[in-house]
Amino acid sequence: MSLQDSTVDNGAEPTYKHDETAKPTIEEETRVDMIKDWIKTCDEHHGSPCVLTKETRVRLPPWLIDVVDECVVEGVAERYLTLSYVWGGVKTLQLVKDNIGRLKQQGSLAKEVVTLPRTLREALEVTRLLGERYIFVDQLCIVQDDQQHKMTQIQNMANIYAHSYLTIFATVGDTADSGLVDGLDQWIHQSRSDLMTHNVDDVYPWVLERIDASAWNHRGW
């Protein structure tokens, strides 16, 4: 049985195929540099509300995705990212009892091996481009056919997200294949000085309105 045989058929085929000539827009250098600037500002100036001490990092997720080795690993890392997105609407690979062994193998999540929905694939790319190694994505980090494990992790979801180093919010679209960006590129590519402002409510009210009306805003996490 291949990894593709472990997909859940609840929608169309994912649109993100392996193609070295078609880089996702999220990989643009200026955007990554800008996000790194935001992270640096947070690390250096926000203090304890954003920088958790080792003692506060409890109940870490049992599984994480390693974007360097491109596989699922046991959640031994204290520093990891999380993805908040709209589940479903597309055929997708999930972590189940039968494929844990294969998904732990180095390279099992490589583009050449398995097709993931665009939102998931781009989130893995962003994690790597930011110089981070681990990310939590629920459908690949919770054993979906182990009900006891699944319910335990659902109850632990607030801790998992609260203790992550950074959360990527995929607020556009209504499926897991919508990707991380669409018309919001207009917002991202505004002047760097405007983007660094803390008064986002005044500068970009239309962005907040779109987020409020999005399918993502009705998700649990």
d(CA 119, CA 179): 4
Q: According to the model, what pLDDT value does residue 131 have?
A: 92
pLDDT of residue 1: 44
Average pLDDT over residues 157-166: 88
The pLDDT confidence band at residue 22, using thresholds 50, 70 and 90, is very low
Instruction: Residue 48: count other Cβ atoms within 10 Å of its Cβ.
Output: 8
Residue 114 resides in a domain: yes
Q: Identify whether 19 is part of a domain.
A: no
Separation of alpha carbons 139 and 109, rounded Å: 13
Total number of domains in the chain: 1
Whose CA is closest to 52, among 189, 163, 216? 163
Inform me whether the pLDDT recorded for 151 exceeds 80. yes
Model pLDDT, residue 114? 87
Q: Sort strands 134-136 and 63-66 into parallel, antiparallel or unpaired.
A: antiparallel
The owner of tokens 């972590």 is 95
Give domain status of residue 177, yes or no.
yes
Q: What's the whole-number mean pLDDT along residues 172-180? A: 76
Q: Residue 43: CB partners within 8 Å, gap ≥ 6?
A: 50, 51
- Segment 178-219, tens digit of pLDDT: 777 755 554 555 545 555 554 555 555 655 666 665 555 556
Q: Is residue 205 part of a domain?
A: yes
Containing domain of residue 94, as a range?
3-13+24-218
Residue 206 resides in a domain: yes
What tens digit of pLDDT does each residue of 7-19 get?
Answer: 555 555 555 454 4
Q: What separation in angstroms does the CA of 81 have from each of 93, 107, 168, 171?
A: 20, 20, 7, 16
pLDDT band at 221 (very low <50, low <70, confident <90, very high): very low
pLDDT tens digit sequence for 99-141: 999 999 999 999 888 888 888 888 999 899 999 999 999 999 9
**Digit-coded pLDDT (tens) for 47-105:** 777 766 665 555 688 999 999 999 999 977 789 999 988 877 778 899 999 999 999 99
Specify if 150 maps to a domain.
Answer: yes
In a domain, 18, yes or no: no
pLDDT given for residue 33 in this prediction: 79
Say if 96 falls within a structural domain.
Answer: yes
Higher-confidence position of 27 and 135: 135
First to last CA, the chain: 32
